[in-house]
């Protein structure tokens, strides 16, 4: 990522970069949220570890509640990115 664009007239800071041949413009706050989520998905081995990392993220908590109908796996259960509906689909 190149860094925030603080051009006059912008209400927020945006990160601008190229990914897979496409220009990506995303609010800095959202980019950091997604990076934190991706780090948690890649690094943690149990559901308890993963959930402890994302507990402050309301959007992620809401997504998990919808996908698992408020029945999340036990905290000591092995966590894999394929457990998250849609994650391995590349969307």
pLDDT for 57 beyond 80 = yes
DSSP the chain: ---EE--TT-SS-EEEEEETTEEEEEEHHHHHHHHHHHHHHHH--BHHHHHHHHTT-HHHHHHHHHHHTT-PPPTTSB--GGGSTTGGGT-
pLDDT digits (tens, 9 = 90+) for 11-45: 568 989 888 899 989 999 888 888 888 888 888 89
The alpha carbon of residue 54 and the mean position of all alpha carbons in its chain are separated, in whole angstroms, by: 9
The token duo for 85 is: 């509906």
């Amino acid at each position: 990522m190149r860094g925030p664009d603080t051009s006059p007239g912008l209400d927020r800071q945006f990160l601008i970069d190229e990914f897979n041949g496409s220009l990506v413009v995303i609010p800095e706050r959202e980019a950091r949220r997604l990076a934190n989520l991706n780090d948690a998905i890649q690094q943690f081995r149990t559901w308890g570890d993963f959930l402890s990392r994302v507990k402050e993220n309301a959007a992620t908590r809401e997504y998990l509640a919808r996908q698992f109908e408020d029945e999340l796996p036990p905290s000591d259960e092995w966590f894999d990115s394929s457990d998250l509906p849609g994650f391995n689909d590349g969307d």
